[in-house]
């Protein structure tokens, strides 16, 4: 969950006074949570000071539901109307508050639907510097930017560091600046004047080309080990990665790409022609294998699927949020049912099995019953 609270202040503050507002924030949240934040490598929030329409704007952004509840909710409450900055003997009144919030999946969905999803603008409203090899550099470094964002995402949502080196290098290679309007400006930091950049960049990521290249180079096969199906991608066993939450979310987005679907269509049909397979997916019975011997449209309520997914992830020790999972499932259903290419729908000759109120054994028996009737007549 991404949330942003803008507090419009009646007093003039500058960007370099954000540390004073950091103190105000800590004074207004739960002390145990403040201590928790102090011990985190990456914090699930940020603060900034800027100006809009002649007013000072204090912006607080959070990236998790817990941070929203612990930080933004106290600040947006009606009781938080004013505060003091003792260092400057300043009494500040809050004259307005503006809150926006969106789920991670909704963000992903908005990007995938945007016709210029591979373009973005990077704005540095206050002087910004990047620390690399012990030195501050003011020119934007996309490797540092992406690496920082990846590390924060992994620590905040999964509680650990992931090896994203290959993905990082691909993103850096695919990124280039199409327009630049920045200048240097010095700002106080750690008792010194540090050079930072101010201004904006127009950036492009050649994502479509990279996805197409990945499709054409993909060699996928299936094998069985101890009775368990294993998926092999370019000689590497990737089975363990396929059920990760981020893979599931990105699968729905990337599969909307016509080139991806065309290549997967060929791969999946080849697999089915060479093996006896039970293949599941959102368009298997309608597009991939329209002549399949047996078709099952297996479904369950969004709430039931969210609960099952939550239990699956928690059993693996992965941090997750039930409300986020439910929102992701609802959004993905809507997106897949309304996409132009191979939308999610029940094939006319498929048998509907609603597993909302079933256990695993009941689901298995229901599907086997359909199979026996189809095969044995």
pTM of the model: 0.56
Distance CA 377, CA 371 (A): 9
What is the band of 41 on the pLDDT scale with cuts at 50, 70, 90?
Answer: confident
203, β-bridge pairs? 120, 177
- pLDDT the model gives residue 268: 83
Helix axes 322-338, 104-113, angle to 10 degrees: 20
- Residue 74, pLDDT > 90, answer yes
Residue 205 neighbours by CB distance under 10 Å: 19
Distance between alpha carbon 2 and the CA centroid of its chain, in Å? 10
Query: Which is it for strands 119-128 and 82-85: parallel, antiparallel or unpaired?
Result: unpaired
| SS3 of 63-125 | CCHHHHHHHHHHHHCCCCCEEEEHHHCEEEEEEEEEEEEECHHHHHHHHHHCCCCCEEEEEEE
Distance CA 30, CA 313 (A): 29
Phi, psi of 372 (to 5 degrees): -60, -40
- Residue 371, pLDDT > 80, answer yes
Mean pLDDT, residues 21-48 taken together: 90
Domains of the chain, residue spans = 208-376
- Residue 250, pLDDT > 80, answer no
Mean pLDDT, residues 256-260 taken together: 68
Question: What's the CA dihedral at 280, 284, 290, 291 to 10 degrees?
Answer: -20
pLDDT-wise least confident of 24-38, 52-66, 165-179: 165-179
Mean pLDDT, residues 197-204 taken together: 92
- pLDDT the model gives residue 318: 73
Return the SS3 of 205: strand
- pLDDT the model gives residue 8: 97
What is the band of 21 on the pLDDT scale with cuts at 50, 70, 90?
Answer: very high
| Tokens coding 58 | 């204090």
Q: Which of 1, 56, 86, 67 is nearest to 29 (CA)?
A: 67
- Residue 360, pLDDT > 60, answer yes
Measured between alpha carbons, how far is residue 143 from residues 163, 169, 251 in Å? Answer: 14, 8, 25
Return the SS3 of 291: coil
Pick the CATH number of 208-376 from 3.40.190.10, 3.40.30.10, 3.30.67.10, 3.40.50.300: 3.40.50.300
Distance CA 218, CA 232 (A): 10
Mean pLDDT, residues 256-264 taken together: 71
CA angle (238 as vertex; 274, 279 as ends), nearest 5: 40
- Residue 351, pLDDT > 90, answer yes
Return the SS3 of 293: coil
- Residue 200, pLDDT > 60, answer yes
Name, in order, each residue with C-beta under 8 angstroms of 89's C-beta and a sequence gap of 6 or more: none
Higher pLDDT among residues 367 and 114, named by residue: 367
61, β-bridge pairs? 4, 46
pLDDT (tens digit, 9 = 90+) per residue, 85-143?
Answer: 988 889 999 999 999 988 766 666 565 555 455 778 999 988 888 877 778 888 888 98
């Amino acid at each position: 969950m991404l949330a942003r609270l803008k507090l419009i202040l009646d007093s003039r503050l500058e960007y370099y006074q954000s540390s004073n507002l950091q103190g105000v924030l800590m004074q207004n949240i739960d002390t145990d949570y403040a201590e928790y934040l102090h011990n985190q490598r990456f914090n699930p929030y940020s603060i900034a000071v800027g100006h809009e329409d002649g007013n000072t704007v204090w912006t607080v952004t959070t990236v998790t539901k817990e941070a929203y509840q612990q930080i933004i909710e106290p600040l947006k409450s009606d009781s938080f109307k004013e505060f003091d900055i003792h260092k400057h003997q300043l009494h500040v009144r809050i004259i307005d508050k503006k809150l926006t919030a969106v789920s991670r999946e909704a963000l992903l969905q908005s990007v995938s639907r945007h016709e210029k999803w591979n373009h973005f603008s990077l704005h540095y409203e206050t002087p910004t510097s990047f620390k690399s090899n012990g030195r501050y550099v003011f020119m934007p470094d996309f490797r540092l930017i992406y690496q920082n964002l990846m590390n924060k995402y992994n620590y905040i949502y999964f509680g650990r560091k992931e090896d994203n080196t290959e993905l990082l290098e691909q993103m850096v290679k695919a990124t280039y600046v199409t327009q630049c309007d920045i200048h240097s400006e010095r700002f106080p930091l750690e008792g010194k004047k540090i050079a930072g950049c101010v201004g904006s960049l127009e950036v492009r990521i050649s994502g479509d080309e990279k996805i197409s290249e990945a499709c054409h180079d993909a060699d996928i096969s299936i094998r069985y080990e101890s009775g368990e199906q294993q998926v092999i991608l370019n000689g590497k066993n990737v089975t363990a990665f396929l059920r990760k939450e981020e893979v599931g979310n990105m699968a729905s987005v990337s599969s909307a790409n016509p080139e991806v679907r065309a290549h997967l269509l060929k791969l999946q049909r080849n697999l089915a022609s060479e093996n006896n397979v039970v293949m599941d997916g959102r368009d298997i019975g309608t597009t991939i294998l329209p002549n399949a011997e047996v078709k099952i449209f297996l479904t369950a309520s969004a709430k039931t699927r969210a609960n099952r997914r939550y239990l699956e992830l928690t059993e693996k020790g992965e941090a997750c949020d039930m409300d986020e999972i439910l929102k992701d499932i609802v959004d993905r259903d809507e997106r897949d049912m309304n996409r132009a290419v191979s939308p999610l729908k029940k094939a006319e000759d498929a048998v509907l099995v609603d597993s909302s109120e079933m256990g695993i054994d009941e689901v298995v028996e229901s599907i086997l019953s359909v199979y026996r009737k189809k095969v044995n007549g």
